[in-house]
Amino acid sequence: MAGRDSALLVTSDLGRTRTTGAAIGSGEPLSAWREFDLGAWDGMRPEDIRRRYPDITSRRFGSGDFQPEGGERFADFTVRVRSAFDALADRMDDGQEAIAVTHGGVIQTIVGSIIGAADQSAMLVPSNASLTTVRLSGDRAEVFSLNDDLHLNGDVARPSGTRLRFIRHGETEANLEHRWWGRGESHLSDEGRRQATALGQSGGAYDAFASSPSIRARDTAAAVATESEAVRIVDDLVEIHFGEWEGLTGAEAQATDPEAFRRIFEEGRDEPRGSTGETFARAGERLESAATALAADESGTVAVFTHGGVTRAYVARLLGIAFPDRSVLPIPRNTAHSEIIYGESGPRISSYNVATHLGD
C-alpha cells in the first residue's frame, strides 16, 4: 500500500485495524467498520462453539436471521456494513481513492451485497492483509478484484483441497482490435508476451498445468511452465463460442444482427452468441465440468490457462450471478488469476482477477 497516503483512509476502531491502517497513513477510526459482533462466542475457538452450541452452529453461518447468543443479527450486520460502505463512497470525489482497513467478515459481506449473494459460502473469508478492490461508476459498483494476497508470498492460511488457479492468457492482437474470438486464433501481442513473461517471473509454484487448446493460452502457459513440465490440453477450457459473430467487433456484430444484439446486451437475454454460439450460462457449466474433472485428477496447486469470458461465467455461476447482473464482476485482466479451491465442502472462490505481477 506504499504511496497511497493521499487516499481517503478509514479504519475500524478496533486495535488490530488501527495498527494495520497506521502502516498506510493517518486513518479515521469508525465503529461502523467493526467486525460482526459474536456476543458470547467472542474469543472462543470454533471447536468450542460447536460443542457448546450444536443447535446454532448447525445452521449456515451468514443467513439473515443468524444471531449468536448476545451478539448481532446477521441481517443487521449486513445493513450496518453496507451503510458504512455507501457513506464512504458518498465522501469520495470523482477519481479519488478510498481505503477501508477493516475485517474479513465485513469485506466478505460487502462483496456479497454488491453481487447480490445472500449465501456467501461460495467465497472464502479474505486473507489477513489482503486487498479487495471495488470500483464505482455512478450508482454502479463492481468487485474489480477479490482477495489479492500475492504480496504475502504464499504465507496465508487456506483450506485443504486442490487449488485451481485460472489464468487468463496474455493480451492478443484481437484484444487490441476489440474482436470477439472464442474458437478462432489470435497470437499474443508484444504486450501480451511481456505480461506472460512477468507472470512466469512472479515465482508461482505449481504442481500441474492445464491449458485451453487455443494458441494464446498455450503460449502463455509456455512462459510459466518449464520444458520438463507437461501442460495438459483440455478442450473445455476454451473461450465462449461466439458463433457467427466470431472475429467481429461488438459494433460489427450489432450491425450484422441488431435485434439479437439488443436482446442479449440491452435486454439481458442469455441467448446463443451469433445464433450458433454459446450462452453465458452454458459456458459457465462447461468450465465447471472441466474444473471438477481437473480437481479430481490433480492435487496441490494447478495453473489453468484459459480465457476471460468463460472464467467470469464460471465464477458467476458459483456465486449465483445471473447474466443480466454479470457487470458486478469484470472480465479478468490479461494474465490475471482467479483461484477456486476444491475441498470437502465443494468449490469455493479464493480470489478473483488478481494480477500483482503487472504492477498496477
User: Look-up: residue for cell 500475492?
Assistant: 150
Instruction: Note whether 8 and 91 are within 8 A (CB).
Output: yes
Cα 219 to the center of its chain, rounded Å: 24
**Of 35, 72, 171, 239, which is the active-site residue?**
239
Q: Which residues contact 266 (CB under 8 A, 6 or more apart)?
A: none
Instruction: Note whether 106 and 125 are within 8 A (CB).
Output: no
Output b/e per residue, 151-187; b: 16+ Cβ within 10 A: eeeeeeebeebbbbbbbbbbbbebbeeebbbbbeebe
**How many C-beta atoms lie closer than 10 Å to residue 248's C-beta?**
18
**Of 103, 169, 337, 357, which is the active-site residue?**
169
103 assigned to active site: no
Which residues are 9's β-sheet partners? 99
Which residues are 10's β-sheet partners? 28, 100
Nearest to 20 by CA among 100, 125, 85, 101: 101
Written as one string, the DSSP assignment of 106-117 is HHHHHHHHHHT-
35 assigned to active site: no
Instruction: Note whether 303 and 167 are within 8 A (CB).
Output: yes
Instruction: Note whether 326 and 318 are within 8 A (CB).
Output: no
**How many C-beta atoms lie closer than 10 Å to residue 330's C-beta?**
17
Instruction: Note whether 144 and 167 are within 8 A (CB).
Output: no
**How many C-beta atoms lie closer than 10 Å to residue 2's C-beta?**
6
Active site residues: 169, 239
